[in-house]
């Protein structure tokens, strides 16, 4: 069963620093940056490499922060394309992130009245995540904990300075980094560490985070604490009853339904789980976690035909959301169980993927 809603952290595609309001637009921040961001959003990673190479060769990058921003996009594109050694070479070309060479005040003529680091946060994140991609888990964990210390120190500074907007942004970064760490520790079945991380985060938060509390419930389920998980999930549902109609209600309702479905799955009540996922899909057809998990429940109920239809319809309706390796692996597994000529069917799917998938999609997941 896919537990994406509890364990997955999204890879950022926006490299620029949201804390600065000194620039009116992306292109004011760096040359043709809006175009780079658009390419990243569409998964056109090879085009990003070409664009960065062109900007460097034509000497379009005139300020220090231009080079760092473009290097961030280049490293991200290389990682997305699984060219990890090349990404490592790119990152190794940098000095220590705390070097004075990366401080605005070191260039008073270029950045009058600006202080602090010009290193994009996403570059720090890429530096932490790269060792995991190169099978060096311990170094990756060490870098992530150093990044967490950095973020928390910045958060303390902003709180002390009563800069509420900046503090809020750094708080979101703290949650993001902790979620990354929880994901890596979950993959190693280090549930005690995960519980400590998430409880520490919740304890120090002024706001109730339903996604974070739901994730706590998921971890509690992993260690067999069904009572604790139910309590966590009920807290999320209680928040829903206090919400009025706004843009967050659909997302919150779906979170509640997915939490209920997980409880049903523990008891192998797949029919009830399907009902919860169907409510999610009716509310939001792009809820790919609900779509994927509904299909798997149908497979467990030996209804392969409907399970296949659920995934195929999602790929047709919302390909930009549904086209990920998990969904395709599950669909191909169902093909293998349902059809004698599954190789031909998977080949048709693979040809369609080749036409519409982003550059970083792993086509080997079709197992042709």
Domain of residue 207: give its range.
136-242
Integer CA distances (angstroms), 173 to 19, 27, 44, 122, in order: 11, 24, 26, 10
Q: Does 23 map to a domain?
A: yes
Same domain, 184 and 71: no
Say which residue, 55 or 14, is predicted with more confidence.
55
For the segment 358-367, the average pLDDT, to the nearest whole number, is: 94
CB half-sphere exposure, 226, CA atoms < 13 A:
7
Q: Do residues 277 and 293 touch, judged by C-beta distance below 8 A?
A: yes
Q: What pTM was estimated for this model as a whole?
A: 0.88
First to last CA, the chain: 23
CB half-sphere exposure, 98, CA atoms < 13 A:
3
Same domain, 73 and 144: no
Q: What is the model's pLDDT at position 245?
A: 54
For the segment 337-346, the average pLDDT, to the nearest whole number, is: 96
Confidence of residue 240 (pLDDT cuts 50, 70, 90): confident
Report the C-alpha gap between 8 and 183 in whole angstroms: 7
- Residue 1 makes CB contacts below 8 A (sequence gap 6+) with 265, 293, 296
Which tokens belong to 108?
A: 């008073």
Q: Can you give the CATH number for the domain in which 152 is found?
A: 1.25.40
pLDDT averaged over every residue in the chain = 91
Which tokens belong to 167?
A: 């503090």
- In 3D space, the residue among 188, 202, 205, 119 whose CA is nearest the CA of residue 128 turns out to be 119
Q: What is the model's pLDDT at position 318?
A: 95
Report the C-alpha gap between 280 and 276 in whole angstroms: 7
Same domain, 157 and 208: yes
Same domain, 81 and 107: yes
Total domain count for the chain?
A: 2
Q: Does 126 map to a domain?
A: no
Strand, coil or helix: what is 103? strand
Same domain, 180 and 79: no
Q: Does 189 map to a domain?
A: yes
For the segment 282-311, the average pLDDT, to the nearest whole number, is: 97
Q: Does 104 map to a domain?
A: yes
Q: Does 188 map to a domain?
A: yes
Q: Does 360 map to a domain?
A: no
Q: What is the model's pLDDT at position 246?
A: 59
Q: Do residues 187 and 219 touch, judged by C-beta distance below 8 A?
A: no
Report the C-alpha gap between 248 and 291 in whole angstroms: 20
Q: What is the model's pLDDT at position 6?
A: 40
For the segment 249-275, the average pLDDT, to the nearest whole number, is: 96
Strand, coil or helix: what is 286? coil
pLDDT tens across 279-295, in order?
999 999 999 999 999 99
pLDDT tens across 165-220, in order?
899 999 999 999 999 999 999 999 999 999 999 999 999 887 889 999 999 999 99
Same domain, 9 and 109: yes
- Residue 125 makes CB contacts below 8 A (sequence gap 6+) with 12, 147, 177, 180
Q: Do residues 208 and 57 touch, judged by C-beta distance below 8 A?
A: no
Which tokens belong to 188?
A: 């190693």
Same domain, 68 and 109: yes
pLDDT tens across 1-49, in order?
654 444 334 455 545 443 344 555 678 788 899 999 999 999 999 999 9
Q: Do residues 243 and 252 touch, judged by C-beta distance below 8 A?
A: yes
Q: Return the sign of the alpha-carbon dihedral for residues 43, 44, 49, 54.
A: negative
- In 3D space, the residue among 308, 306, 259, 297 whose CA is nearest the CA of residue 280 turns out to be 259
CA dihedral 80, 292, 290, 324 (to 10 degrees): 10
Q: Do residues 120 and 94 touch, judged by C-beta distance below 8 A?
A: no
Q: What is the model's pLDDT at position 11?
A: 52
106-109's contacts with Cβ under 8 Å and 24+ in sequence apart are: 107/63, 107/64
Strand, coil or helix: what is 117? strand
């Amino acid at each position: 069963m896919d537990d994406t809603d509890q364990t997955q952290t999204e890879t950022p595609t926006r490299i620029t620093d949201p804390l600065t309001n000194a620039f009116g637009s992306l292109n004011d921040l760096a040359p043709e940056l809006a175009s780079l961001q658009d390419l990243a959003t569409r998964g056109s990673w090879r085009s990003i490499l070409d664009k960065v190479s062109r900007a460097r060769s034509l000497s379009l990058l005139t300020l220090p922060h231009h080079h760092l921003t473009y290097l961030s996009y280049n490293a991200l594109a290389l990682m997305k394309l699984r060219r990890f050694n090349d990404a490592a070479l790119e990152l190794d070309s940098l000095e220590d992130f705390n070097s004075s060479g990366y401080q605005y005040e070191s260039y008073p003529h270029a950045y009058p009245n600006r202080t602090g680091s010009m290193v994009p946060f996403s570059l720090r994140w890429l530096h932490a995540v790269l060792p995991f991609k190169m099978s060096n888990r311990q170094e990756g964990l060490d870098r992530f904990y150093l990044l967490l210390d950095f973020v928390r120190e910045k958060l303390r500074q902003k709180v002390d300075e009563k800069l509420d907007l900046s503090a809020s942004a750094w708080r979101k970064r703290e949650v993001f980094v902790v979620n990354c760490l929880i994901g890596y520790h979950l993959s190693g079945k280090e549930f005690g560490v995960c519980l400590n991380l998430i409880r520490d985060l919740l304890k120090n938060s002024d706001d109730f985070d339903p996604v974070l509390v739901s994730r706590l419930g998921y971890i509690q389920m992993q260690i067999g604490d069904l009572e604790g998980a139910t309590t966590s999930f009920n807290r999320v549902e209680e928040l829903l009853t206090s919400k009025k109609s706004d843009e967050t209600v659909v997302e919150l309702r779906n979170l509640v339904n997915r939490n209920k479905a997980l409880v049903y799955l523990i008891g192998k009540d797949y029919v009830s789980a399907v009902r919860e996922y169907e409510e999610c899909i009716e509310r939001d057809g792009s809820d790919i976690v609900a779509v994927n998990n509904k299909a798997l429940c149908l497979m467990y109920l030996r209804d392969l035909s409907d399970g296949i239809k659920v995934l195929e319809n999602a790929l047709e309706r919302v390909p930009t959301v549904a086209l990920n390796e998990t969904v395709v692996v599950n669909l191909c597994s169902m093909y293998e169980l349902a059809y004698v000529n599954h190789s031909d069917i998977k080949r048709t799917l693979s040809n369609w993927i080749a036409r519409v998938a982003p550059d970083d999609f792993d086509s080997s997941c079709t197992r042709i």
